[in-house]
Chain A
Amino acid sequence: MKVHHPHEKRRRAQGAYLIVALVMGTLAVSFFRLQVLRSDVWELRAQSNRVRQMPLAAPRGTIYDRDGQIIADNAPGYAITVLGPPDSIRATLDRMGAYMDLSEGHIQRLLGVLRRYGGQTLVVDADADFTVVSALEERRIEFPNVYIEMRPRRRYLTGEAAGHLLGYVGEVTAEELSSAEFADDRYQQGMVVGQTGIEKQYEALLQGRPGLKYVEVDARSRIVGDFAAFRQDPGEAGADLHLNIDLDLQNWIHHIFPDSLSGAVVALNVADGGVLALYSAPAYDPNSFVGGIDDAVWAELNTNPGLPLYNRATLGLYPPASTWKLATAAIGLDLGVVTPDETMPVPCTGGMSFGRDYRRCWNPAGHGYNNLAQAIGNSCNVYFYQLGKLIGLDRLVERATEIGFSQRCGIDLPQESQGEFPAGRNFWVETFGYEPQDNEVLSLSIGQGPNSQTPLKMAQFYLALARDGSAPPPALAKDAELGPGWALSLAPEHIASIQEGLRAVTTQGGTAHIGTSLEYWQVLGKTGTAQNTQSIQGTEANHAWFAGMAGPWDGPPEIVLAVIVENGATGSGVAAPIMAKAADFYLRKKHGIPIDSIQTYGEHLRSGRPTPWYRARYAPGAGSGR
């Protein structure tokens, strides 16, 4: 057989052609399957390959005060995002350190986020400084996978004045994201959420729905541009929030509260219980938290002995002292064990014996026979001991519990301390390990004993006295739904008599007269002097309370205030003028009278300003209260 015979060759050539046809046919079929039959699948894949979703931050809702003034809004800011697989993000972070403040701890935290969530994008700084942004923009070539976008940045227009009230926003943490609170699929890494205060309380409302934009990236995650084929979703802005707060009053309180002192002021609207002002001193500026707080500022806030981050108005628990005598009075009237005009059987002689137990009044000279109003005006312990006895421990505890002295007010803030007050007899068993004796009621009835209340709670209690005995829960937001509150069944004459007693404190001859007398407004209130650990040791003064109400001379009270000044010595000296000045400011604004910085009679005296209005109302030469 001749191998190279033409016939043989043709036969083999057929075989070779067959091989070519098989090989090429296999390829063609493969391409047909890929390009014709399953093309749509791969097309989709091609798109997802190069298109990255970038969240588009929606602006947070604006917060307004009761008059529509802006308390918190948004200013343009910048967010820096890095795209790419984890290795390349890490490398980019290392290089970015030259142009921005990226501590090793920060990098580790970011890498932790990356490990946890994986993904192709990482928000490095949700609120970058403009200097950092411009430094990175100048080096775009070096940072092809760094994406800088405009992003709304929270701005608190009030600065320190409303810090505790508003709270602040911060980047959502990994822990928060995994909590039920942020289970909503709106939330993702790098988003800014409310961390405390109103911002946290109304997070769900204020937070909008983030939008989506699409950018095209190449295989090395370098951003090539926006992807136009998918329409960008702008998201939805957060809802606005209207507060009951009077921003001017809030600012004024911040202005008048002594810088060197700690304390709190709560102002409530008599009409509806809305919170007009909520202030805690020392304050902090929530703006310093936006976009991540500076380490140094954070350290300062945390080591400051004044505890500026602590909201004393809602968290601080202070013995209410004499301000609580009004609770005893109100409960007595409510239960009908006493009438306004009655005097107690035993007159005050500077103290009184209860069996072997001798209890003192604050005034060793004694107050003699007092009716209710006089007893309040004199803050007579002996009267209230006896009233307490008449009420009895069980009824006092029961009724005080109903008013909520061992509960929270239910203000619309994420945190509020619960009042410390016995909710029943077993309180003594649980706390002190013994059955209470009947004389426990003596301490309680003058605001001592196991009783600590927040300034907010005391304000809410005085709110009931300024109204008809009912107290709605204090609401920060205008439309807050907070529940029914509570009510004392007090007849109008009961209220009148209680207010009469409070008037005795602030009228000529009363302890707080000079500090609370105002030209246009009648101030009613009660001082309190609360002992504390330091004051018992003698190293610091007592805490000073003043709780009360104010309004036009010829009308009902319109504003209720509770003021506490830590180590302020006496309620009449420091706390009462703050209350009066705040009330004066609010009422002048409300009734269209120009604001004056010299407000109380005391201030007039010190500044030497004539006070015709005072002489017109009170006897000449008078005014030297005790």
Chain B
Amino acid sequence: MTRMLEKWAVDPMLVLAVFIMTLFGIAMIYSAGVVFVPTEVTRDAWIRQGMWFGVALVSFIFISRVPLRWVEWVAVPAYVLAIILLAATLVVGIGSGTAAGVKSWIAFGPIRFQPAELAKIATVLVLARLLSQRDEPLTSLRDLLVPSALVGLPLALVMLQPDLGTAMAFGGILFAMLFWAGTPVALLLLVASPVAALILSFSSTIWSAYIVGVIGFLYLYRYRLFMFESVAVVLANFAAGTIATPLWNSLKPYQQNRILVYLDPEMDPRGAGYHVIQSKVAVGSGGLTGQGFTLGSQKRFDFLPEQHTDFIFSVVGEELGFIGTTLAIAGFAFILARLVRMAVDSPDPFAGLVLLGIFGTWLVHIFVNIGMTVGVVPITGIPLPFVSYGGTFLLTSWVAVAIAVRVAHER
């Protein structure tokens, strides 16, 4: 039995956990379709998700058996292809369903997919190849330039769609992999500091205090950095603070609203704040034990927005309660931890980096998706791995699992 599992699943711990989460997702998608006024799309979504699961499992079995060289070889062409497709979405991309405004899909006849999904895996592979070639940690900002550019290109293209959630996933990839490549945390923080400056610039007092903090940090850290690098960090922070206002003004009103209602959902309860409030109502009314599988009233009465996809976790909260959400969060924590463990156990630097890249993207997806259902994170509209309804996302997530187990268990 164990032998069988190891033969087919390669890494039974990870694959079993992911397998269970997928089944859990299908069950929740089924429940999300149980509403008082059902539509064909929502009622049968779980069946289609099940069929995609079948496709994903077959893909997993194949990909988890390809020679490791192929995986390494495919990285660069896949990356190039992904970049081309991402650029193409800006021209021929189409919106889909409720996210009609985001042109992130490409259609080849009846087949539609999101190039960003391919781009994430390709970026992980290409970055892993790049970083695995060096045995020394990246200690200067100059060292980070090429890796950042590799991730920054697809990230920028995704931002242009505009798909903020997926862009954040690319950020997760970059930071997780740089971290695994030995970049000091302090340096990573310095790289991230302009983003913080951007956010904090709404108050000039806080921003000024922050800049002083950054400069103080650079002083303490002065022996590790070149002078020009310190200057670059400070300049970048200043620049971020300066462009904050024009950047804010360039955001579309709905994007501004999302950020504003994140700060105060009740500001516009029937408009921009509607999703967060309805989701919190659903989750909150679930209580400790939930209203019972398929019995969630907010869901049934159609108050939950996007309840198959982005807000599937609200259904979990409403119907399975705190016990259900805790178990699901624990499940995801286990999957993430398992990826780290596999990275530790794998002797191959490439394998470790790939695993951490996948770790980074899933961490962002899980945190942002679950966090937005309770208002911890602004609504960005990214799916929950294995649970949200969506065929290509489920497939690519399983491809990522396949690659993970393939690279981790090269013997």
Contacts and interface: CB of A to CB of B under 8 A. Distances in A.
A217 B352 CA distance: 52
A35 B284 contact: yes
B36 A218 contact: yes
B303 A50 contact: yes
Given A35-B325, A36-B322, A27 B370 contact: yes
A21 B326 CA distance: 13
A50 B359 contact: no
B284 A41 contact: yes
A601 B366 CA distance: 103
A35 B340 contact: no
Contact of A39 (B136, B278, B287, B301): B287
B75 to A, nearest CB: 19
Nearest to A19: B363
B325 A13 contact: no
Interface string B57-96: 0000000000000000000000000000000000000000
A45 interface: yes
Contacts of A218: 35-37, 300-303
B195 interface: no
Interface string A1-26: 11110101110110111011101101
A13 B363 contact: no
Contacts of B298: 46, 49-50
Interface in A12-64: 12-13, 15-17, 19-21, 23-24, 26-28, 30-32, 34-36, 38-39, 41-43, 45-46, 49-50
Nearest to B35: A218
Interface in B154-204: 176, 179-182, 185
B325 A15 contact: no
B374 A43 contact: no
Given A45-B281, A218-B36, A24 B329 contact: yes
A23 to B, nearest CB: 5
A6 B344 CA distance: 7
Interface residues of B, number: 58
A14 B204 CA distance: 37
A85 interface: yes
Interface stretch (A219-227, A260-268, A413-421): A219-227
Given A23-B367, A50-B301, A219-B302, A31 B37 contact: no
A3 B363 contact: no
A27 B317 CA distance: 12
B179 A16 contact: yes
B48 interface: no
B181 A24 contact: no
A216 B37 CA distance: 13
A35 B182 contact: no
B301 A216 contact: yes
Interface string A411-430: 00000000000000000000
Contacts of A13: 340-341, 343-344
B281 A35 contact: no
Nearest to A35: B322
Contact of B349 (A4, A16, A30): A4
Contacts of A26: 367, 371, 376
Contacts of B36: 218, 222, 224
A219 to B, nearest CB: 4
Given A8-B182, A39-B288, A218-B36, A31 B135 contact: no
A324 to B, nearest CB: 68
Contact of A20 (B136, B302, B326, B340): B340
B344 A30 contact: no
Contacts of B212: none
B333 A20 contact: yes
A224 B298 CA distance: 13
B333 A34 contact: no
B363 A23 contact: yes
B297 interface: yes
B137 interface: yes
Contact-residue size bin, chain A (C-beta under 8 Å from the other chain): 35 or more
Interface string B206-238: 000000000000000000000000000000000
B404 to A, nearest CB: 14
A16 B284 contact: no
Nearest to A223: B36
A164 to B, nearest CB: 49
A10 B340 CA distance: 9
Contacts of A216: 301
A4 to B, nearest CB: 4
A144 interface: yes
B196 to A, nearest CB: 17
A325 B278 CA distance: 80
A31 B374 contact: yes
B284 A38 contact: yes
A38 B317 CA distance: 14
B181 A35 contact: no
Interface string A589-600: 000000000000
Contacts of A39: 284-288
A34 B37 contact: no
B340 A43 contact: no
Nearest 8 CB-CB pairings of A with B = A42-B284, A46-B285, A3-B182, A35-B322, A218-B301, A39-B287, A219-B302, A218-B302
Interface of B: 35-37, 134-137, 176, 179-182, 185, 270, 278, 280-288, 297-298, 300-304, 317, 321-322, 325-326, 329-330, 332-333, 336-337, 340-341, 343-344, 349, 352, 356, 359, 363, 366-367, 370-371, 374-376
Interface of A: 1-4, 6, 8-10, 12-13, 15-17, 19-21, 23-24, 26-28, 30-32, 34-36, 38-39, 41-43, 45-46, 49-50, 85, 144, 216-220, 222, 224
26 contacts: A1-B136, A1-B182, A9-B344, A16-B356, A23-B366, A24-B329, A24-B330, A26-B371, A26-B376, A28-B326, A28-B329, A35-B283, A35-B287, A35-B322, A38-B284, A39-B288, A42-B280, A46-B281, A46-B285, A50-B297, A50-B301, A85-B270, A216-B301, A218-B37, A219-B301, A219-B304
Given A35-B321, A39-B284, 19 more contacts: A4-B349, A10-B344, A13-B343, A16-B176, A16-B180, A20-B337, A21-B333, A24-B332, A27-B367, A27-B376, A35-B325, A39-B287, A42-B281, A43-B287, A46-B282, A49-B301, A218-B35, A218-B300, A219-B303
